[in-house]
Structure 1
């Protein structure tokens, strides 16, 4: 099966070559890198199996949508529109084989995005009072029978 994601803006299609592909913004870790500020570092996973394509969101900030509906996981059909945050693609599934299915390959797609710079004053970062102390986990109380021999087998 050949699986492709065709960008809605008319760019080159992304061929899904691996059985499991990690999609996100993190270069060097993701199989398909979408360089856009609305994409999470680890956004979602695509899995190809038995002629089907499945998607699972990895708790991304801006979500994954299939045909306009936000999903945590879904099966993708030919012609479906899948959106990773604000970046949209159309799903293409067809007969045939992709070359080098097990080949290690990362595809980088550079998309226009806004660069956001955060400026912090040095004195704010050096002031320990500006950081909240870590929370301690509440102790879990466990109840044990006074005479555990009652429960012995």
Structure 2
């Protein structure tokens, strides 16, 4: 099962296994909560189908990037570098698990 590794203030945080649908955003109702002002309340979603995972931006204010390119919907590959607002993550095929994930980072400039 796949995971995300988020870098929060220089510390790598590893998510639990990604499910069939994993929501990402600032709101507490998300599966992965990122407490950062550059991340939208409902920022993005990762969906699994067969042997692949797709990342979709949910029309977030500051966008979602994969490997430096703003995306709307893309298939993820192992090692892809993802940016939710100013928060950086890496998509990984397997990693150790973390019990919780609430990421707080510094305020970064917003996309115009």
Q: TM-score, normalised by structure 2?
A: 0.81
| Structure 1 match to 2:71 | 71
Greater fraction of residues in strand: 2
Tell me, in whole angstroms, the C-alpha distance in 1 between the residues paired with 2:100 and 2:61: 22
Structure 1 residue 93 displacement after superposition: 1.6
* Aligned residues between the structures: 101
Greater fraction of residues in helix: 1
Give structure 1 stretches of 5+ with no counterpart: 95-105, 115-153
User: Cα RMSD between the aligned structures?
Assistant: 1.8
Tell me, in whole angstroms, the C-alpha distance in 2 between the residues paired with 1:69 and 1:110: 23
Larger Rg: 1
Tell me, in whole angstroms, the C-alpha distance in 1 between the residues paired with 2:91 and 2:18: 14
Structure showing greater relative contact order (alpha-carbon pairs closer than 8 Å, 6 or more residues apart): 2
Give structure 2 stretches of 5+ with no counterpart: 108-112
